[in-house]
Amino acid sequence: MIGDKVSVHYTGWLLDGTKFDSSRDRKDKFTFDLGKGQVIKAWDIAVATMKVGEVCRIICKPEYAYGASGSPPKIPPNAVLVFEVELFDFQGEDLSTDEDGGIIRRIRVKGEGYSKPNEGSVVELWFQGSHDGHVFDERDLRFEVGEGEGLGIPPGVETALQQMEKGEEAVLYLKPKYGFNSAGYEPFHVPPNAELQYEIKLKSFEKAKESWEMNSEEKLEQGALVKERGTEYFKAGRYRQAVIQYKKIIQWLEHESGLAEEETAKSKCLLLAASLNLAACYLKLGEHRPALDNCHKALEFDTNNEKGLFRRAEAYMGVNELELAKDDLMKVINLYPGNKAARAQLTQCQQRIRDQHQREKKIYANMFQRLAEKEEKESTKVAKEQLPSDDVEMSEEPEGRQPSDASRTVTGEM
Amino acid sequence: MCFKHRTLGQGGVIGLHSGPHNQTDGILIRNVGWNLIGPIAKCMQSCAVGSEKERGCLQLLNALIESCNPKEILLGILEQIDEAAGDHISRIILPFLQPLQIVLLKLGNKKSYSVGLSLSTIHSRLSNLPVPYTAQQMQEDKYSLCQCCLALVQFAQPFIDIVSQSIDLSKEADTEEMRKELLTFCFSCLKYPLLNAPLNTLPEDEGDHPLRVFAKQIMGFLVSLGESLPRTFVQRGHSAPTNDTEGSISGNEVCSVESLACLSYLLFVQHIGIDSFPFVFGPSFLVKSNMGHVAVLLKRTEESLLSKGLDLLEHSLLRVDNGSLPEDVLEVLTANQVLQDLVKVMTLCPIEHLRKKSLATLQLVIDKFCVEGKYKLFRCLLKISSHAGVEGYIIHNIKNQIDAALKTNPQNKWFLGTRLTPLLLSALSLSEGAETDLLQMSDRIMASLNLLRYLVIKDDDNETGVWSELAKIEQDFLKPLHTGLNMSRAHYDAEIRSTHEKKRGSHSGKPLCTVTAGGNKLPDMTPEMQLQVLQSALFTFDLMESVLARVEELIEVKLKSAPEGKIGSS
C-alpha cells in the first residue's frame, strides 16, 4: 500500500544494454516509501502492483523516468529505462518518534498536497477505533490537534494525524503505550494494555498559513476569528489552547506593513486585544514573565490601557516587583476612579509591601544578630560549646580532641 | 636517559641506533623509551626534509616502536601531534603517520578507541590550516595540507580494510566500534577540508588535483565501511533542519549538516561516489531533499561555500524537466529559506560572478516549477525580496507567464482570471504610495508599467481581469505614481537650480561626506558630476512619465472603443 516501506533488489539498463545501476552490485537492498514520489513515476506505479517474492521487468518511457532532462552522468536525455525488480518485503510505516514500531500506519488512499496538520491545527476526520475486532469508538469529529486527550483520542492517533495529508485514509496499529496505556479507557470499555486499531479518514484540516501566504485582509479576517476562538478557550479555562490562538494574531500582524488606514486601526485593535488576552492567559497559568512582556507590548499600543496597567500590576506582583506594581495600580486608580478591583489589589499590594518590609527587617535583624554573634565567637574563641547540630559538623575538624566531644554530645542527646 | 638526550642534541644518531642492542640498555629503553619521542620530534623539526639526520630519527623511532610498550609510544606520539602548532603542524604530522600506523596495528584487538583518538587528534590539528582556494595555492601547498590529506588516506587504509573484510560486524564489537570511529572521521573530513576546498576539475589538468583525489578516497571509504549513501542522503536529508537523532549511523551526532551538504555536493555536482548511488530516485524528490543542503551552504558567506550551494541547487534542478516541479516543493520549510538566501546572494554578495550565477539559478527555479508552483513562487518572492531590481525581474517573469497563458493555454487558471488578481495587484502597486522613492524603485516601477501596458494592449477580452480591477489599479498605482513623479521632479529641478548657483558661486565648498568603494576613497563630486547625476535622475522620471502617459492613453482608447459591457464582464 501507499506509504509502505518497500525493500527491493533491482538492476537497471538503458535500451542499448548498458547497465547503469544495480543494487545487487552494491550488495545493498534499496528501500523507499512507496507512492510518495521518492522514486521515478514508473516505480511508484509498478512496484505497487507487485507481490512479495515477485521478480518483474519494468520498461519505462522517459516521461515516467528522467524525461527530457535525463540524470547526469549516467542517464541521457529522453532515455527509455529497463529495470528488473525483485520485491523482498514491505511493511507499514512506523510513525512513532522512537521508531519502536508502536504506531504503524498503512495508507489506503493517498491524500493530496505536501502539507500536514501540526500541533494546533483544526482537523476534521472520521475514525473508527477497534480492539480485538470489537469496535469501541466511531465518530465524525472536529478538534484541535493537541487536545485529543479530553476527547478520548489516544496520543498515537494525534501523532499519526500530524503525518497525514488532506483526504488521506489510513489504518493505524497502536501499541498500548501509544493507545490507552496500562490504564485502559473506561468510557469505551477498553481494557488495560490493549493494542488498538484505528481506521482514519482525514477529511480536511485548517493549518496556520505561512504569513507570507496571506494578504493583509486575510490576516485581519482570520485574526478576528482566531481571537474569538481564543476567547472561547479562555472562558472554558483552557489557557494553553487560548495562548496558541492569540499568538497567531501577534505573529501575523506584528510586522505587517503597508496597511490602509482603516486596516491599521483594525490591526492595532486586534494586536492590543491579543497582547492583553495573552497576558491574562499567562497570569492564569502563573507564568508571570511572559505575562509581563505582553503587558508591555499592549501598553505600547495604548499607554493608558486600563486592563493593560492592571494586568501588568498583577504580573509585577507575581514576580515580586511590588513597588512597580503599586505605581501601575495608582495610575489605574487615577485614570479610572471607578475601578474597584484595582483598589482592592492596591490594598493587597500595600499589605504585601508592608509584610515584606517586616520580613526584611526581621531577616536583616537576624543577619546582624548573627554577624554580631559570629564576631563575638571569633574574638573570644573560647566558647566552643554550641548547638548540637554544630557539634556533628565539628567532628570533622582535624583537631584531635573534638571528635570524642562531639560523639559524647550526640550520644548524650539520645 | 641523559645520555640519549645528549646524543640527540649533538646529532649523534647512529650511535644511538645501536643502543638498544645492549642488554641493560634494552630494559631501560623498554620502560622509559617513550620519553624519547619528544626530543626526537624536536630534532626532526630542526633538520631538513629528507636529510640523513631525519632518516636517523625515524630509524630510532622505529627501533623504539620495536621494543617499547605500544600504548606508551602511541600516547607519546599523539602528545607531539597535539602540541604541534602553526607551520609545524604538517611538519610533525607527516613523518609520524607511518610510525603511528605501525603502533596502532600492534595494539591487537582493542584498537578502535586508539584509532579514533589518533584520527580525531590529527584532524583537529589539521583543521587549523587554511584550505587552499586557487589552483595556484593548491599547487604550492604552502602548509602541506594536500600532502597531509593524501598521507592520511594511506594511514587510514589498513583500518578501513579491517572493517570491510569483516564478515559479521554484529559479532565483532571492536570492529563495529572501529567502523563508527572511521565514519566519524570521514564525515569530519567532508566538513573540513572538503567543504571549503575547490573541487571542480581543472580544464587544463590531465589528472585530478590532490583534494579531488582526497574527496574520491573519502567517498570510497564511506562505501567500503558499508555506509549506504542513499540511506544517509534520504534520512539525513529529510531531517536535516530539525537535527533529529535518527538515521543509519546509530543516532549519535556522527555527521553534521555541513558534512551532509558536502556529501550531496560531491554526489550531484562532482559525481563523486555516484556509482554507489541509486538511479531510481524521482527528480523532484531529489530537489526537495537537496533544499536542506542548499540552505546550509547558502547561509554562509564564504565564496567557496556559496558557489557550492548554487551549483548544488542548479544541478538538482537540471534533472527536472521544465514546468514539472510540483508546487509542494515550496512547502518544504527550507525552500523558503533557500529563496531568501538566493535573493540575498543576488543583491548583497560582493562577488560578481556569484551574483550573476544566483540570478541565473533563480530563473532556473522559475522555469522548473509547474504553473501553480510558479504562481506561488512569484507571490512568495514579491513578499520577501525587497529589492527593486529583483522585484522588477519577477514582474517581468509574471508578464511572460501571462503571455504564455494567453497564447497557448486559455485554461490556465493561475495566470488568468480571478486567481491572477491578487498577484496582479501586488505587482501593480507602490509600496509607500506617492512617497515611494521613485529613483530607488525605478526598476520595479518600469517593470510594472511594462506589464500593465502589455495587459492593456493584449487582453481585449478581460481574460486576465485587468479591466475589472482597473479602478483599484488607478487608485493604488497610477494616481500615486503621478503625484510621486510631480513631487520628485519638482524636488530634483530645485536641486539642479541650487547646484547651478553653487557652481557660479564659490568653488571651495567642503563636501558633506566622502564615499569609498573597495577601500579607495572616491574623489569628491564636482558640481558638474552632481549635475550629471541629477540630470540622469530627471531622465529616468521622463522615461517613467512617458510610459505612464502611453499606458493611460491606451486605456482611454480601449475603454472608448470597446462596446459597453464587454470590458468589465467576465
Residues 6+ apart with CB under 8 A from B324: A67, B284, B368, B370
Q: What's residue A117's pLDDT?
A: 85
> Which percentage of chain B shows pLDDT scores above 90?
41
Best mutation site among A8, A22, A30 for testing chain B: the one with the most B CBs within 10 Å?
Answer: A30
The SS3 of residue A231 is helix
CA B78/CA B89 separation, integer angstroms: 12
Task: Tell whether B264 is covered by a domain.
Answer: no
User: B472 — contact with chain A (CB < 8 Å)?
Assistant: no
Q: B311 in a domain, yes or no? A: no
First to last CA, chain B: 101
All cell numbers assigned to B303: 565564496
Alpha-carbon distance of B396 to B392, in angstroms, equals 6
Query: Using CA atoms, how far apart are residues A396 and A408, in angstroms rounded to an integer?
Result: 14
Contact between A137 and A82 under an 8 Å Cβ cutoff? The reply is no
Whether residue B239 is predicted with pLDDT greater than 90 in this model: the reply is: no
Name A129's bridge partners. A137, A198
The residue range of the domain holding B561 is 371-491+528-570
Q: Rounded distance, CA A125 to CA A145, Å?
A: 11
- Mean pLDDT of all residues in B530-542: 90
In a domain, B67, yes or no: no
User: What secondary structure does DSSP assign to A44-82, as a single string?
Assistant: HHHHTT--TT-EEEEEE-GGGTTTTT-BTTTB-TT--EE
Grid cell listed for A106: 498503512
d(CA B199, CA B298): 17
Q: Please report whether residue B48 resides in a domain.
A: no
Residue A61 C-alpha cell reads as 518511457
- Whether residues A73 and B274 touch (CB distance < 8 A) is answered with yes
Locate B236 and state its grid cell.
539525513
Please list, in sequence order, all residues whose beta carbon lies within 8 angstroms of the beta carbon of residue B358, skipping any fewer than 6 positions away.
Answer: B310, B342, B345, B346, B349
Higher pLDDT, B376 or B26: B376
Residue for grid cell 541509486: B278
Listed by number, the residues of chain B in 89-118 with a beta carbon closer than 8 Å to a beta carbon of chain A are: none
Which candidate from B283, B284, B432 shows the least CB-CB separation from A71? B283
Rg (CA), chain A: 34
Q: Which chain B residues have a beta carbon less than 8 Å from that of A35?
A: none
* Contact residues for A341 (Cβ-Cβ < 8 A; gap 6+): A310
Residue B31 pLDDT: 75
Mutation site, B243, B280, B281, interface A, largest A CB count within 10 A = B280
Helix (H) or strand (E) holding A313: helix A306-318
Q: Do B319 and A74 touch (CB under 8 A)?
A: no
Name the least confident of A346-350, B35-39, B129-133, B354-358.
Answer: B35-39
Q: How many residues does chain A have?
A: 414
CB spacing of A70 vs B328 below 8 angstroms: no
CB atoms within 10 A of CB B570: 12
Rounded Cα gap, residues B429 and B188, in angstroms: 50
* Contact indicator for A301, A293 with CB cutoff of 8 Å: no
- A242 Cβ neighbours under 8 A, 6+ residues apart: A230, A231, A233, A234, A277, A281
pLDDT of A400: 41
Q: Which residues pair with A60 in a beta bridge?
A: A81
pLDDT digits (tens, 9 = 90+) for B501-515: 877 765 555 555 666
CB within 8 A of A201, min separation 6: which ones?
Answer: A125, A126, A127, A168, A169
> Would you call A21 and B280 a contact, using CB atoms and an 8 Å cutoff?
yes
Q: Which of A180, A186, A216, A220 is nearest to A198 (CA)?
A: A180
Cβ of A205 under 8 Å from any chain B Cβ?
A: no
The pLDDT, as a whole number, for residue B23 is: 62
CB contact under 8 A, A66 and B285: no
List, as one string, the DSSP characters of B121-162: HHHHHHTTSPPP-SHHHHHH-TT-HHHHHHHHHHHHHHHHHH
Tell me: pLDDT of B123 over 90: yes
DSSP per position, B21-45 = GSHHHHHHHHHHGGGGHHHHHHHHH
Question: CB of A146 within 8 Å of any CB in chain B?
Answer: no
**pLDDT score of A211:** 56
CB contacts < 8 A (A, B): 87
**Are A223 and A201 spatial neighbours (Cβ–Cβ below 8 Å)?**
no
Nearest to B60 by CA among B74, B82, B41: B41
CB contact under 8 A, A212 and B379: yes
d(CA B298, CA B317): 16
Rounded CA separation A369/A382 (Å): 19
Q: How far apart are CA A59 and CA A47, in angstroms?
A: 12
Enclosing H/E stretch for A123: strand A122-131
Is pLDDT of B118 > 90? Answer: yes
- Do the domain assignments include residue B230? no
Cα(B278)–Cα(B268) distance, integer angstroms: 12
Check A30, A83, A178, A233 and give the catalytic one.
Answer: A83
Q: Rounded to the nearest 5°, which phi and psi values hold at A194?
A: -95, 140
- Strands B516-517 and A122-131, bridge-based pairing: unpaired
Please compute the mean of the pLDDT values over residues B361-385 and round it to a whole number. 91
The answer on pLDDT for B139 being more than 70 is: yes
| B306-327 mean pLDDT | 93
Closest residue to A37, CB basis, from B230, B284, B336: B284
pLDDT over 70 at B570, yes or no: no
Q: Over the range B280-291, which residues count as b (16 or more CB within 10 Å of their CB) and which as e?
A: bbbbbbbbbbbb
Nearest-angstrom CA–CA distance, B175 and B167: 10
Q: Is B366 inside a domain boundary? A: no
C-alpha cell at B223: 562505501
pLDDT at B553 over 80: yes
- B324 in Cβ contact with B284 (< 8 Å): yes
pLDDT per residue rounded down to tens, chain A (414 residues): 778 889 999 999 999 999 999 999 988 899 998 988 899 999 999 998 999 999 999 999 999 999 999 998 999 999 999 999 999 998 888 888 777 888 999 888 888 876 788 777 889 999 999 998 899 999 999 888 877 777 888 889 988 998 898 899 999 999 998 888 888 888 888 888 999 999 999 998 887 555 556 677 778 888 888 888 888 888 888 787 788 788 888 877 876 665 677 788 888 888 889 999 999 999 888 888 889 889 988 888 888 888 899 999 989 988 888 888 988 888 888 888 888 888 888 888 888 888 888 888 877 777 767 777 777 666 665 544 444 444 444 444 444 444 444 444 333 333
- Tens of pLDDT, residues B259-273: 999 999 999 999 999
Query: Does the pLDDT value for residue B448 go beyond 60?
Result: yes
**Considering only A249-258, B332-341, B425-434, B496-505, which range has the smallest mean pLDDT?**
A249-258
Partner A, chain B 265-304, Cβ-Cβ below 8 Å: 271, 274, 276, 278-285
Judged on CB neighbours under 10 Å (0-12, 13-18, 19+), B520 is exposed
Provide, as residue numbers in chain B, all residues whose Cβ is less than 8 Å from the Cβ of A20: 279
Give the per-residue pLDDT at B445: 94
Residues on chain A touching B276 (C-beta within 8 angstroms): 26
**Three-state SS at A133:** coil
Alpha-carbon span B268 to B105, nearest angstrom: 36
pTM of the model: 0.75
A293 is catalytic: no
Q: Is the CB of residue A252 less than 8 Å away from at least one CB of chain B?
A: no
**Catalytic pick from A4, A30, A58, A66?**
A66
The pLDDT value recorded for residue A391 is 41
Q: Contacts of residue B285 in chain A, CB cutoff 8 Å?
A: 36-39
- Mean pLDDT, residues B87-114 taken together: 88
Question: Is A200 labeled as catalytic in the residue annotation?
Answer: no
Alpha-carbon torsion A292, A298, A300, A303, what sign?
A: negative
Across the interface, of A26, A40, A74, the residue whose CB is closest to B276 is A26
Are residues B319 and A70, on separate chains, in Cβ contact within 8 Å?
yes
Of B231, B279, B321, the CB nearest to A68: B321
Three-state SS sequence of B271-310: CCCHHHCCCCECHHHHHHHHHHHHHHHHCCCCHHHHHHHH
| In a domain? residue B463 | yes
Which grid coordinates belong to B113? 578507541
Average confidence (pLDDT) over B147-157: 93
Residue B291 lies in a domain: no
Predicted local confidence at residue A84, as pLDDT: 95
DSSP code at position A381 = -
Q: Indicate if the pLDDT at residue B477 is higher than 80.
A: yes
The reported pLDDT for the residue numbered B507 is: 54
Lowest mean pLDDT across A2-11, B44-53, B189-198, B414-423: B44-53
Distance from CA of A37 to the nearest CA of B (A): 6
Catalytically annotated residue among A40, A58, A103, A153: A40
Question: Bridge-partner residues for B485, per DSSP?
Answer: none
pLDDT value, residue B449 = 94
Q: Which of A207-211, A389-393, B40-44, B184-188 has the highest mean pLDDT?
A: B184-188
How many domains is chain B built from? 1
A20 classed as catalytic? yes
Chain A residue numbers touching B331 (CB-CB < 8 A): 113-115
CB-hemisphere CA count at 13 Å for B440?
A: 9
ipTM of the complex: 0.82
Q: pLDDT for B378-428, tens place per residue? A: 988 998 888 999 999 999 999 999 999 998 877 888 898 888 888 898 899
